[in-house]
A and B are shown apart, each in its own frame.
Chain A
Amino acid sequence: MKSEKKAVVVIGAGPAGLAAAVALKKLGVEDLVVLEREDAPGGILRQCIHDGFGLTRFGESLSGPEYAGRFVDEAAKLGVDFRTGASVIGLDAGRRVTVATREGLVTYEAEAVILAMGCRERTRGALAIPGSRPSGVYTAGVAQAYMNLHNRMVGRRAVILGSGDIGMIMARRLTLEGAAVEGVYEILPHASGLPRNVAQCLDDFGIPLRLSHTVVDLRGSSRLESVTVARVDENLIPIPGTGREIPCDTLILSVGLIPENELSLQAGVALHPRTRGPLVDEFFRTSVEGIFAAGNVLQVHDLVDFVSLEAENLARAVARHLAGSLPAGGGIEVRAGEGVGYVLPARVGGKEDFTLSLRARRPDRDVALRISHGERIIKTIKFRRVLPAEMLRVQVRAADLAPSAAGSESRRPEPLEVSLTC
Chain B
Amino acid sequence: MLREFTCLVCPRGCVLEADPEKSGDGRVKGAACPKGLLYATQELDDPRRTFSTSVRVLAGESPLVPVRLTKPIPRAAIGEALALIHAITLTAPVQAGQVLLSDILGLGSEAIAVRSVEAGERTAESL
Contact = CB atoms under 8 A, between A and B. Distances in A.
Interface of A: 39, 49-51, 55-56, 61, 63-66, 69, 147-151, 172-173, 176-177, 194-196, 199-200, 204, 302-303, 305, 384-385, 390
Contacts of A195: 5-6, 13
Interface in B42-61: 47, 49-54
A374 B67 CA distance: 54
Interface of B: 5-6, 8, 10-11, 13-15, 30, 47, 49-54, 62-64, 66-69, 75, 78, 82, 96-97, 114-115, 125-127
Contact of A149 (B50, B69, B114, B125): B125
A120 B114 CA distance: 24
A152 to B, nearest CB: 8
B89 to A, nearest CB: 14
Contacts of A194: 6, 13
A175 to B, nearest CB: 10
A139 to B, nearest CB: 18
B82 A176 contact: yes
A302 B15 CA distance: 17
Contact of A200 (B30, B49, B125, B126): B49
A63 B111 CA distance: 12
Contacts of A51: 50, 52, 68-69
Identify whether the interface residues of A are mostly helix, strand, loop, or mixed: mixed
A59 to B, nearest CB: 10
Nearest to B32: A384
Contact of A65 (B5, B11, B51, B115): B115
A49 B13 contact: no
Nearest to A49: B66
A56 B47 CA distance: 22
A39 B125 contact: yes
Contacts of B97: 66
Contacts of A173: 52
Nearest to A176: B53
A272 to B, nearest CB: 24
23 contacts: A49-B52, A49-B68, A50-B51, A51-B69, A55-B10, A55-B11, A61-B50, A63-B66, A63-B68, A63-B114, A65-B115, A66-B96, A69-B96, A150-B126, A173-B52, A177-B53, A195-B13, A199-B5, A199-B6, A204-B78, A303-B11, A384-B30, A390-B13
Given A65-B66, A200-B49, 12 more contacts: A50-B68, A55-B10, A65-B115, A66-B96, A66-B115, A151-B62, A151-B63, A176-B53, A177-B53, A200-B8, A204-B75, A204-B78
A148 B11 contact: no
A51 B112 CA distance: 12
